[in-house]
């Protein structure tokens, strides 16, 4: 799995060249706008709810001594919780709504690499959108089930060092999952795709690691995260499909 993670990360190296070579930038206008607007909404939510969650956490401390310190800690934790949940919502909203635009990108990459046009089942924009919504709602629920206990464990000193890494990897896995499915939807059913990604966790995690890291870059990262991550995921997913066959 470690090798797959590194290969998936390395795949980002050729994305700019491939996008330009195939003239794919025109497909990314709407997804980039969706990504930018969603990020702004999540940002306002983080700013608005930070103190509320911090105050709620501070109520756990029943004593007067150290109350101010615990309130400060509560505000920090509140911000982290909002950011973590915001990132989860952000990526699934963006990936679901961008499905009709990203699937053609993946298809053109596949046609370029395989030398075959329309070699797999056709899908419509509506079916791509529905598939994207279905996959991302499923992934959202699964990710929340994993994230909530991790966030609770992060309240424990020292343990929170490890939970931060674990939380990042969980988010990376589901980000990579969504990017891979733009290719898988032409090859597999919903359930088959879930099984395929489980068998190629390294590919999903590697792709998602760069995806999540790019979100830390103001504006530019938010705009470029989908074009680069979807292109990288498409090339690696196609390699995995070829190896399985």
pLDDT tens profile 196-236? 999 999 999 999 999 999 988 888 999 999 999 999 999 99
Neighbour count for residue 220 (Cβ, 10 Å): 9
Q: Give the sign of the dihedral formed by CA 213, CA 183, CA 144, CA 163.
A: negative
> Any alpha helices (H) in 59-200, and if so which ranges?
67-114, 125-153, 159-184, 190-199
Length of the chain in terms of residues written: 245
Residue 84 has what pLDDT? 75
16 has pLDDT over 80: yes
Q: What is the DSSP letter of 13?
A: G
* Rounded Cα gap, residues 236 and 12, in angstroms: 10
Instruction: Name the 3-class secondary structure at 135.
Output: helix
Q: How high does pLDDT run on average in the chain?
A: 84
Span 142-168, mean pLDDT?
84
The pLDDT confidence band at residue 21, using thresholds 50, 70 and 90, is: very high
**Which pTM was predicted?**
0.84
* Rounded Cα gap, residues 98 and 18, in angstroms: 20
Percent of the chain with pLDDT over 70: 82
Residue 48 has what pLDDT? 65
Q: 53 vs 112, which has greater pLDDT?
A: 112
Q: Give tens-digit pLDDT for 89-131.
A: 888 999 999 988 898 899 999 999 887 665 555 667 788 888 8
Structure tokens at 17: 């060249």
Residue 89 has what pLDDT? 86
Q: Give tens-digit pLDDT for 69-84.
A: 656 666 666 667 777 7
């Amino acid at each position: 799995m470690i090798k797959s993670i590194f290969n998936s990360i390395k795949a980002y190296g050729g994305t700019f060249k491939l996008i330009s070579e195939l003239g794919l930038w025109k497909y990314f206008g709407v997804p980039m706008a969706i990504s930018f607007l969603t990020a702004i909404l999540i940002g306002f939510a983080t700013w608005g709810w930070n103190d509320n969650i911090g105050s709620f956490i501070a109520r756990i401390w029943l004593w007067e001594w150290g109350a101010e310190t615990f309130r400060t800690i509560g505000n920090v934790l509140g911000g982290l919780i909002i950011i973590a949940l915001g990132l989860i919502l952000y990526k699934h909203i963006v990936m679901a709504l961008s499905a009709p635009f990203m699937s053609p990108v993946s298809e053109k990459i596949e046609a370029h690499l395989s030398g075959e046009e329309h070699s797999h089942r056709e899908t419509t924009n509506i079916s791509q959108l529905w598939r994207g919504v279905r996959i991302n709602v499923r992934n959202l629920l699964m990710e929340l089930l994993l994230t909530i206990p991790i966030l609770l464990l992060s309240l424990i000193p020292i343990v929170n060092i490890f939970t931060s890494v674990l939380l990042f990897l969980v988010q990376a896995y589901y980000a990579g999952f969504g990017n891979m499915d733009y290719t898988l939807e032409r090859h597999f059913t919903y359930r088959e795709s879930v099984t395929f990604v489980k068998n190629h966790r390294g590919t999903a995690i590697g792709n998602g690691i760069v995806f999540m890291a790019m979100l830390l870059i103001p504006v530019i990262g938010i705009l470029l995260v989908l074009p680069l991550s979807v292109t990288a995921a498409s090339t690696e997913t196609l390699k995995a499909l070829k190896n399985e066959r």
